[in-house]
Amino acid sequence: MLIYLRVLKESFNFAVNALKNNKLRTFLSLVGVTIGIFSIIAVLAAVDSLKKEIEGSISGLDNSTIIIMRFSFGPTEIPRWKWQQFPDVSYEEYQYIKKTMPNLEAASFSLNVPQDNIKYEDKSVSNVEVASITHEYYDIEALKIQEGRFFNESESNSGTPVIVLGDEIAKNLFGQPAQAMGKRVRLYGRKFTVVGVLEKEGQGLFGGSKDTAVLIPVNMARRIFGDNNKGTFPQIIIKPEKGVDNAEFIATLKQKMRLSRGLKPDETDTFFVNQLKGLTDFIDDITGQMNVIGLVISGFSLLVGGFGIANIMFVSVKERTNLIGIQKSLGAKNRFILLQFLFEAVILAVIGGLIGLVLVFFVSLLASQFTGDFEFVLSPKNMFIGTAISAAIGLISGILPAISASKLDPVEAIRTGM
C-alpha cells in the first residue's frame, strides 16, 4: 500500500514540475478547458437562476393549489374554437364551491383587472398592477403584512373601498409604509382607504412583484368592471386540506362544477381545472430542455479543450521520450509513467475548470448588479459538476498519450531522445 502511495506522490510531483517548466504550453491548454467549463457552468447557472426566479414568483402558493377558469395552463385536446366559447367562472359558482366542497381549506375569487395610476395628493405611481381578490386569498398565498392588516370578510363581501399596498407603492406615495395607514388614495377614479402594506419581497427579472402592486376586494372590482367583462378572466382559486387525495378531490370538484352548470353526462366540461403542480412540472420540463440544449452547445467548446489537452500531452510525451527511457532503465514501472502523464492531464484540466468556475462566479455577481433583485445562482452542485467534468476530460484526454508513454521501450526511447 505504501509503495502505491509513493508512486502516486512521485507521479504527482513529476506532473506538477512538467507543468511549471512549460508555462506557455500549460496556459494555452488551460484556455480551451476554461472556456468549455465556463460555457457549461454558465448555462447550468443561468437555467437554475431562471427556474428559481419563476418558481419564486409562485412560491407563496402551495403546489396543491387549483385554479378553475375557462383557460388551460397547458395543452388540451379540446379545440381552440370550442374552449374560447366557454363561459367564465362566476362569483356565484365560487360561493357554491365554497359552501359545498368537502376537504376545502380555502377558496378565493379573483378578477384580472387592468393596470391603473394610483394617486395621493400631488404624488402618483403609473401602471400599477391591481389584484382584485376575496379575503380568503390571504390564507391561500402566504402574504405577509408589515403595516396594518388585510381586508376582512365583511369588507370583501360588501366591496368596501379599501386597499392593501405593496412596499414600493407605499414608499413612493408616503415615504414610509407606516404613514400610509388610513390615508385615501385614488384608483380607477375612486377613493380607497389604505388598511395595510405588504412586506417587501424584491423585484424579479420578469416583474410581477407585489412590491409594485396593490390589492383590492374583488366585489369592488366587480362594481367597477361588471360581471360580463371578457377581459377580466375570472378565476376560482382553491386550496385543498393537507393530506387529501388529489385525484379524488379534483373529481369531486369537477362534479360540483358540472352540477352547478347543469351539464349532462355526455357533455364535456366547459371549464378547466388547472393544478399549480402541473405548472411547476411544465417549468421543470422547459428548464430541463434548456439545460440539454445548452450542454450540447457548450460541449463542443469542451471537446475542443479536450483535444487541445490530448495534443499537448502527445507533444509532451515526444519531448520527454529520452527522460522516459532513462526512468525506465533505472527501474520505473509502466504504471509510474502512466500515472505521471495522467496526473499531468488531469491537473491541467482541473485547473482550467476551476478558473472557469471563478469566471462564472464573477460574471454572475456582475450580472446580478445589472438585473436588480434577480439573483444568478452558482450552486455547490454546479461547482461539483464543473470540477468533475474537468477531471473527466483530463482523464479521457490524457489516457492515450499516457499509455503510449508507458509502453515505450527504454533503449529505443533513449536512442530516439538522443
Q: Residue by residue, what is the 3-state secondary structure of the chain?
A: CHHHHHHHHHHHHHHHHHHHHCHHHHHHHHHHHHHHHHHHHHHHHHHHHHHHHHHHHCCCCCCCCEEEECCCCCCCCCCHHHHCCCCCCCHHHHHHHHHHCCCEEEEEEEECCCCEEEEECCEEEEEEEEEEECCCHHHHCCCCEEEECCCCHHHHHHCCCEEEECHHHHHHHHCCHHHHCCCEEEECCEEEEEEEEECCCCCCCCCCCHHHEEEEEHHHHHHHHCCCCHHHCCEEEEEECCCCCHHHHHHHHHHHHHHHHCCCCCCCCCCEEEEHHHHHHHHHHHHHHHHHHHHHHHHHHHHHHHHHHHHHHHHHHHHCHHHHHHHHHCCCCHHHHHHHHHHHHHHHHHHHHHHHHHHHHHHHHHHHHHCCCCCCCCCHHHHHHHHHHHHHHHHHHHHHHHHHHHCCCHHHHHHHHC
pLDDT at 52: 66
**Whole-number pLDDT of residue 197:** 94
- Residues with Cβ within 8 Å of 193's Cβ and at least 6 positions away in sequence, in order, are 161, 162, 163, 182, 183, 184
Contact 39/298 with Cβ under 8 angstroms? yes
DSSP classification of residue 371: S
Query: What per-residue confidence (pLDDT) applies to 19?
Result: 62
Q: Would you say 46 and 372 are in contact if contact means Cβ atoms under 8 Å apart?
A: no
- Regions of the chain short of the pLDDT cut 70: 1-22, 25-26, 29, 49-63, 202-208, 277-288, 290-291, 294-295, 297-298, 301, 319, 368-377, 411-413, 415-418
pLDDT tens-digit readout, 266-308: 888 999 998 876 555 656 666 667 667 766 766 776 777 777 7
**What's the pLDDT at 206?**
35
- Total Cβ atoms within 10 A of residue 389: 22
- Residue ranges of alpha helices (H) inside 58-114 are 80-83, 91-100
pTM across the whole model: 0.59
Q: 240 has which bridge partners?
A: 104
Cell of 282: 411544465
pLDDT of residue 217: 96
